[in-house]
Chain A
Amino acid sequence: MIPGAFTYYRPTTVADAVKILSEHGDEARPLAGGHSLVPMMKLRLATPGHLVDLHGIAGLKGIRRDNGAIIIGAMTTQHELLTSGEIASAIPILHEAARLIADPQVRYRGTIGGNVANGDPGNDLPALMMTLGATYWVEGPGGRRNVAAAEFYQGAYFTALEPGELLTAISVPVQPAGHGWAYEKLKRKVGDYATAAAAAVLTMSSGKVTTCTIGLTNLSETPLLAADAARAVIGTSLDDVTLKQVANAARAIMSPAADARGPVEYRKHVGGIMVMRALTRAAARTG
Chain B
Amino acid sequence: MAKTHISMKVNGIEVEGLVESRTLLVHFIRENLQLTGTHIGCETTHCGACTVDVDGMSVKSCTVFAVQANGSDVLTIEGMANADGTLSPLQEGFRMMHGLQCGYCTPGMIVRAHRLLKENPSPSEEDIRMGISGNICRCTGYQNIVKAIQYAAAKMSGAQFEEAAE
Contacts and interface: CB of A to CB of B under 8 A. Distances in A.
Contacts of B67: 8, 10
A169 to B, nearest CB: 22
Contacts of A267: none
Contacts of B134: 102-106, 190-191
B60 interface: yes
Given A103-B133, A105-B134, A108-B57, A8 B51 contact: no
B24 interface: yes
B88 interface: no
B59 interface: yes
Nearest to A34: B63
A108 B68 contact: no
A231 interface: no
B60 A53 contact: no
A6 B112 contact: no
A6 B48 contact: no
A39 B45 contact: yes
Interface in A47-100: 51, 53, 55, 79
Contacts of A10: 67
B58 A191 contact: no
Contacts of B116: 104
A190 to B, nearest CB: 4
B45 A5 contact: no
Contacts of B46: 191
B131 A109 contact: no
A105 B64 contact: no
Nearest to A55: B68
Given A108-B57, A108-B58, A108-B59, A190 B133 contact: yes
A281 interface: no
A42 B27 CA distance: 13
A104 B57 CA distance: 9
Contacts of B48: 103, 105
Contacts of B132: 104
Contacts of A38: 45, 63-65
Nearest to B21: A8
A4 interface: yes
A104 B128 CA distance: 11
B103 to A, nearest CB: 20
B64 A5 contact: no
A105 B21 contact: no
B78 interface: no
B22 interface: yes
A42 B43 contact: yes
A109 B131 CA distance: 15
A35 interface: yes
Contacts of B20: 5
13 contacts: A3-B22, A5-B20, A8-B4, A35-B63, A38-B63, A39-B44, A42-B43, A103-B134, A104-B112, A104-B133, A105-B112, A106-B134, A191-B133
